[in-house]
A and B are shown apart, each in its own frame.
Chain A
Amino acid sequence: MKRTWARTEELLPYALLLPSLIFLTLLILIPMVQALLLAIQADTGELTTRYLERMAIDVNFNDAWRNTLLLIVLIVPLQIVLALAMALLVNSRFKGHQWFLYVYAIPLAISDLAAGILWLAVFTERGYLNTAAQGLGIVDQAKVYLSFENFGGLVAAIVIAESWRATAIVMVILVAGLQLIPRDYFEAADLFGANRLRRTLYVVLPLLRPSLQSALIIRTIFAFQTFAVVLALAGRNMPVIAAEAYNWYANNRDAHLAASYALLLLALTILFTFVYLRVLGLREAEVKR
């Protein structure tokens, strides 16, 4: 009797975990294999590279991966800097800092579609940016920022909207990381006469490295999926990989090409994660934080 009870206790954690693992297998692992098959297997069952080739000669293909990478290169560093500023300010624990943490975190609960629309109100020709710029006498007449001819304007608008929205995730990761640093370290730095800047540079940032690294990885991975904010601000004038996957399925009903783009996205995500882990020399323990 006693023995069976101990045995049940031993198996209990596995029984509790099993439903989740089955669920994730059904909804992530198997679809991942199917995405691969959709991209390399014809409906008749034979293996083929024709969908991948078709993707590679697609009119939007080169623009799509170039734009995706361009946006990542512009957005991610900006977010890290902004989020670091927010996190360091919150962590200085001034009176009312919890309220600022809440305000900075609000965009965490906003979709990239909604963020795109919010900034559309700013950047549209009769929008708030032109109103403000003209009111201040910076421009004489309303400018068109979001048009096919103004690639720079489109990129700037998307970068601003995404930095506005997704900085919150980075900020939360960094604040959590800062809280793990014992307060004694700050006081020790103070005692040795370090001012705020030197304390930040030589004490806080090195200790925050693991959090910065995981923020960098998470944000880069998510930035690959940028799509609705692009559609909201630039329409079809700025192809990105995720939007191509969406279009091939939603508008052209072509699951093979959509899956090819999805596979490209997955491959790039995995490649970037791997490169980051390699370049940053992360150990498993650090990634876990």
Chain B
Amino acid sequence: MSAVAAARSPRMNARTWDRVLIYGGAILLALWVLVPFYLIFLSAFSRPNDVFTYPKPLLPTDLSTETMQTFLGSTGVFASVINSVVVAVLTIVISLAFGAPAGYALARFTFRGRQAVQLVVLATKMFPVAILSIPLAVAFLRLGLYDNVLGVALVHSAMALPFVVLVTAGVFAGVSNELEEAAMTLGCSRLTAFLRVALPLALPGLAAAAIFTFVISWNEVFASSILTLRQRTLPALVLFALQQSPLYFKFAGGFFMVMPAIVFIFFMRRYLLNLWGGR
């Protein structure tokens, strides 16, 4: 609230009420977001048989790692976690290798067709890419990419690419062009100026783009499920097992999928607004 407004409100009472309303509302909405995390934590750190207890304990008085251990020891779970990580890392490499140069081009140059490129980026950001995994599965079968981590990573890269372009464009726009020009007058080529000046300054932002790409890939269900049979990622495995698996398996799987999210969003919270709100 501005100083002018504060000075204009003579009754402290009204301001106090205002505060109570704002904090009360904010805390209520925060609880709405956080409580399900707490509940899945309780469910995942219990014993497999606890899914039958009722009423459920609401306080963490009887935690156990038995459910998580059973889940991680189940057939295929460990391999699927490895697959998920490999796919995510491949996705980061591919989408940054393709997307970062594009982001740099959008940040540094004015050229004909710039608007069109921006429109393409925007359209792909909203495009239901996962749906294309059905024709891609047919094509991948022929190319030997079906049931292959690289095939999944390619689709994930297509999904992540527009975000990588947007974030890197924002990052490079934040690194002053004059620094690069100064380096070039001092004898650097465009490439060395980029490598020695712009890139180091852009690294934190590029790391954020990488983290967000990891999240996109780690979470993706549809394409991973369609494109794999034995080389399943964790979400593909959990989805596949949904009908047959016991509740405790689902809860442990849910917790395991959710855990990285909280950490990752924390690390890239500064760039959140670039992803969806950005120009």
Q: Which residues of A pack against B, CB within 8 Å?
A: 10, 12-14, 16-17, 19-21, 23-24, 27-28, 31-32, 34-35, 37-38, 82, 85-86, 89-90, 92, 94, 97-98, 100-114, 117-122, 124, 126-128, 130-132, 134-135, 142, 164, 169, 172-173, 175-177, 179, 183, 186-187, 190-191, 196, 211, 217-218, 221-222, 224-225, 227-228, 231-232, 235-236, 242, 245-246, 249-250, 255, 258-259, 262, 265-266, 269, 273, 287-289
Contact = CB atoms under 8 A, between A and B. Distances in A.
A54 to B, nearest CB: 15
Contacts of A113: 219, 221, 235, 238-239, 254, 257
Interface string B263-279: 01110010011011111
B183 to A, nearest CB: 16
Contact of A176 (B102, B124, B277): B277
Nearest to A93: B1
Contacts of B52: 126
User: Would you call the interface of chain A mostly helix, strand, loop, or mixed?
Assistant: helix
B105 interface: yes
Contacts of A31: 132, 135-136, 139
A76 to B, nearest CB: 14
Interface in B131-171: 131-132, 134-139, 154-155, 157-158, 161, 165
Closest 9 CB pairs of A and B: A176-B277, A117-B254, A109-B261, A111-B219, A34-B135, A16-B105, A13-B109, A27-B158, A31-B132
B104 A119 contact: no
B117 interface: yes
B56 A127 contact: yes
B269 A228 contact: no
A94 B26 CA distance: 10
A263 to B, nearest CB: 9
Given A28-B132, A89-B26, A114 B117 contact: no
B36 A164 contact: yes
Most buried by A among B25, B58, B99, B131: B131
A27 B132 CA distance: 8
A112 B132 contact: no
Given A27-B154, A235-B242, A109 B264 contact: yes
Contacts of B19: 94
Contact of A190 (B5, B36, B58, B254): B5
A134 B56 CA distance: 11
Contacts of B276: 169, 172-173, 176, 218
B81 to A, nearest CB: 14
Contact of B23 (A90, A94, A135, A259): A94
B134 A187 contact: no
Contacts of A24: 120, 124, 158, 161
B250 A120 contact: yes
B272 A105 contact: yes
A225 B222 contact: yes
Contacts of A235: 242-243
Nearest to B50: A126
B262 interface: yes
20 contacts: A12-B190, A19-B97, A20-B98, A27-B154, A28-B158, A101-B269, A106-B37, A109-B215, A113-B219, A121-B39, A124-B247, A126-B53, A164-B32, A218-B276, A227-B221, A231-B242, A242-B131, A258-B134, A265-B128, A266-B128
B225 A246 contact: yes
Given A23-B161, A246-B222, A103 B34 contact: yes
A86 B272 CA distance: 15
A134 B54 CA distance: 10
A106 B272 contact: no
B4 interface: yes
Given A13-B111, A172-B276, A190-B4, A114 B257 contact: yes
A85 B28 CA distance: 11
Given A89-B25, A100-B30, A117-B238, 16 more contacts: A12-B109, A19-B102, A27-B154, A28-B132, A31-B132, A38-B138, A94-B22, A107-B33, A108-B265, A109-B261, A110-B257, A113-B238, A118-B36, A227-B221, A236-B243, A287-B122
B180 interface: no
B117 A228 contact: no
Contacts of B120: 21, 24
B43 A121 contact: yes
Nearest to B139: A34
A31 B1 CA distance: 52
